[in-house]
């Protein structure tokens, strides 16, 4: 009998004896078709009520740490501010602060211009309507006229709120969250294209002294929107502000550099390469795999530059 006539029989015998044939290893080479979104629009929503000067200064002093990190990642950033005052008698009510409505990392005298965006004074209303002010400057009528250019069609929108009180806008927080969902629909993989982060009072037990401001109040409505959008809430009290800025910086970078896989992997087969060099699995300076989100997250010094090619190799979970 010719040997080639035996091949079908040998294959059948092999299968009947439990021989299994693995699905080929999969390579997701993101460098070929996906790079993280470098386009980031940051809107500060800042309380300009009584005794907020001190907090505005504290935030400003920490911001170079945030923006230096984002600049290192070659982000294309627009930065704008609106106050929480929504009074007809207030000249910048429902508007972006300043003659120059937004700045970028390439704006001449960036540090001084950023200072103008954060130090907006404390002569505003004691009725903090942060959500309403945010809605006003993100409305189509404003975005296409006076505020034109700040918000870009392809940007990730990061809203950063600073206040020592809760929101007093007329509508509930989820109304404004729905507005942002329509303005920035989810990405195809289900992740959000916007997030809210909050510097404020997290509870009445926060170590802020009420005497510093005369009054303090947990920002419960803001924190609801933060949780919904996957952002970070941080205390603005004393030395906590440094830690809060660090946490928000890390979260923004996470959101922008997370890589969603298109199928479930066998976790122990995952290999991650940046610019052709394998990156270790490490929660501090390496990559992590998040099971529930099915994504690769880069940590610490392993966060890739915007133009670095990324490849993720793994054996699919359905493989035998």
DSSP state of 285: S
pLDDT by residue (tens digit) across 94-126?
999 999 999 998 999 988 898 889 999 888 888
pLDDT by residue (tens digit) across 154-191?
899 999 999 989 999 999 999 999 999 999 999 877 88
Q: Where are the beta strands (DSSP E) in the chain?
A: 26-29, 39-46, 76-83, 103-104, 156-162, 194-200, 233-235, 259-260, 271-274, 277-279, 287-290, 295-298, 310-314
Question: Nearest Cα to 98, choosing from 48, 173, 40, 159?
Answer: 48
pLDDT for res 18:
37
pLDDT for res 45:
97
pLDDT for res 279:
94
Q: If you write DSSP's letter for every residue of 117-178 in order, what string do you get?
A: HH---S-S-SS--HHHHHHHHHSHHHHTTTTTTSS-TTPEEEEEEE-SS----SS-HHHHHH
pLDDT by residue (tens digit) across 279-293?
999 999 999 999 988
Mean pLDDT of the chain: 82
pTM, whole model, 2 decimals? Answer: 0.81
What are the tokens at 95? 């508007």
pLDDT for res 259:
84
Q: 134-143, 235-244, 246-255: which range is least confident on average?
A: 235-244
Section 58-71 average pLDDT = 78
Top-confidence residue, 108 or 73 = 108
| 309 Ramachandran zone, left/alpha/beta (phi>0; psi -120 to 50) | beta
Question: Distance between CA 203 and CA 152 in Å, rounded?
Answer: 35
pLDDT by residue (tens digit) across 119-146?
998 888 889 999 999 999 999 999 999 9
pLDDT by residue (tens digit) across 23-64?
456 666 543 334 566 889 999 999 998 878 888 888 888 787
**pLDDT band with cut points at 50, 70 and 90 for residue 10:** very low
């Amino acid at each position: 009998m010719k040997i080639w006539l035996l091949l079908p029989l040998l294959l059948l015998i092999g299968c009947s004896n439990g021989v299994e044939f693995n699905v080929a290893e999969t390579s997701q080479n993101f460098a070929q078709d996906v790079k993280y979104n470098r386009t980031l629009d940051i809107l500060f929503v800042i309380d300009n009520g009584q005794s907020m000067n001190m907090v505005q200064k504290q935030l400003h002093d920490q911001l170079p740490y945030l923006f230096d990190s984002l600049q290192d990642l070659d982000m294309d950033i627009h930065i704008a501010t609106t106050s929480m005052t929504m009074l007809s008698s207030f000249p910048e009510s429902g508007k972006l602060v300043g003659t120059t409505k937004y700045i970028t990392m390439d704006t001449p005298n960036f540090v001084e211009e950023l200072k103008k965006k954060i130090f907006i004074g404390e002569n505003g209303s004691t009725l903090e309507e942060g959500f309403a002010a945010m809605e006003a400057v993100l409305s189509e009528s404003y975005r296409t006229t006076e505020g034109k250019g700040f918000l870009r069609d392809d940007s990730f929108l990061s809203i950063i709120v600073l206040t020592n009180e809760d929101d007093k806008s007329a509508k509930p927080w989820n109304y404004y969250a729905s507005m942002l969902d329509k303005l920035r629909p989810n990405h195809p993989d289900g992740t959000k294209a916007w997030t809210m982060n909050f510097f404020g009072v997290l509870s009445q037990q926060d170590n802020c002294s009420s005497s510093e401001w005369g009054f303090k109040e947990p920002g419960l409505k803001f924190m609801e929107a933060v949780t919904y959008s996957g952002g970070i809430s941080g205390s603005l009290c004393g030395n906590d502000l440094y830690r809060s800025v660090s946490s928000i910086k890390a979260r923004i970078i996470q959101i922008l550099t997370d890589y969603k896989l298109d199928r479930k992997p066998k976790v122990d087969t995952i290999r991650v390469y940046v610019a052709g060099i394998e990156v270790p699995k490490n929660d501090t300076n390496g990559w992590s795999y998040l099971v529930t989100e099915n994504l690769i997250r880069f940590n610490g010094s392993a966060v890739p530059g915007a133009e670095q090619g990324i490849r993720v190799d793994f054996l699919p979970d359905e493989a035998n």
